[in-house]
A and B are shown apart, each in its own frame.
Chain A
Amino acid sequence: DTEVTQTPKHLVMGMTNKKSLKCEQHMGHRAMYWYKQKAKKPPELMFVYSYEKLSINESVPSRFSPECPNSSLLNLHLHALQPEDSALYLCASSQDPPDTQYFGPGTRLTVL
């Protein structure tokens, strides 16, 4: 099973709201990733967790706050977002790189 699940599928939020995106995998993968994808563009890496520790932060604004509660879960906490943050947010997981990254279906985020 190579499934990564993400909730919610769609999210609409105002600029003053606080919300969270959730990602889960049960493949025993030790690395988990957050990507942001704008329409018709490739995914852009935001964060990488390796063995539940943040290993990469691609200079993402602090209004995005990742959290890895355990080896199967990854959250992305959102606060005071801007309309330009509207995008598809993708979660992925892998064993030790350069192993294949498996992606979830994404959360379509709209910031009003």
Chain B
Amino acid sequence: AQSVAQPEDQVNVAEGNPLTVKCTYSVSGNPYLFWYVQYPNRGLQFLLKYITGDNLVKGSYGFEAEFNKSQTSFHLKKPSALVSDSALYFCAVDTGFQKLVFGTGTRLLVSP
């Protein structure tokens, strides 16, 4: 079964420091991977996706993610965190059957 795992419930980082939010995947075939962000009491906002091609994917708000096939990972990164980046981040995989399967989510806290 297609699945993603987010091993960290929470990530704490100081403003201005680089951030990484981890995601590993388990899929058969080519993975279609996504990152979404959710602010309190809001819907999910699309950040970026990997379908095929370049392993480094650039997305919205300065975020990027690196697809690593050998480590089955798709970690979300940003070179310099902002306090406004504090939110809940979800990694997701498209199962190929019109279904997105989400990870459990990682809360990012950026301190001033």
Q: Which residues of A does B touch, CB under 8 Å?
A: 2, 4, 6, 31, 40-43, 45, 48, 50, 55-56, 88, 90, 92, 97-98, 100-106, 108
B96 contacts partner chain A, Cβ-Cβ < 8 Å? yes
Residue in A31, A42, A100 whose CB lies within 8 Å of B49:
A100
Given contacts A42-B90, A100-B49, contact A108 B98 (CB under 8 A): no
Q: In the bound complex, do residue A100 and residue B105 qualify as a contact, i.e. CB atoms below 8 Å apart?
A: no
B25 contacts partner chain A, Cβ-Cβ < 8 Å? no
Q: In the bound complex, do residue B46 and residue A102 qualify as a contact, i.e. CB atoms below 8 Å apart?
A: yes
A-B contact pairs, 28 of them (CB 8 A): A2-B46, A40-B105, A41-B104, A42-B103, A43-B44, A43-B90, A45-B100, A48-B99, A50-B98, A56-B98, A56-B99, A90-B43, A97-B94, A97-B96, A97-B98, A98-B94, A98-B96, A100-B46, A101-B34, A101-B100, A103-B36, A103-B43, A103-B44, A103-B46, A104-B43, A105-B43, A106-B42, A108-B41
Residue in A6, A41, A48, A90 whose CB lies within 8 Å of B44:
A90
> What is the bound-complex CA distance between A41 and B97, given in angstroms?
22
Q: Chain B residues near A100: list those with CB within 8 A.
A: 34, 46, 49
Other than A2-B46, A31-B98, A103-B46, give 7 A-B pairs with Cβ distance below 8 A. Answer: A41-B105, A42-B90, A43-B44, A97-B96, A97-B98, A98-B96, A106-B42
Given contacts A31-B98, A42-B105, A45-B100, contact A98 B51 (CB under 8 A): yes
Q: Which residues of B does A touch, CB under 8 Å?
A: 32, 34, 36, 41-46, 49, 51, 88, 90, 94, 96-100, 102-105
Q: In the bound complex, do residue B102 and residue A105 qualify as a contact, i.e. CB atoms below 8 Å apart?
A: no
> What is the bound-complex CA distance between A40 and B90, given in angstroms?
11
Q: In the bound complex, do residue A42 and residue B104 qualify as a contact, i.e. CB atoms below 8 Å apart?
A: yes
> What is the bound-complex CA distance between A2 and B43, given in angstroms?
13
Give A94 Cβ to nearest chain B Cβ, in Å: 9
Q: Chain A residues near B100: list those with CB within 8 A.
A: 45, 101
> What is the bound-complex CA distance between A50 and B97, given in angstroms?
11
Given contacts A42-B103, A42-B104, A98-B51, contact A103 B45 (CB under 8 A): yes
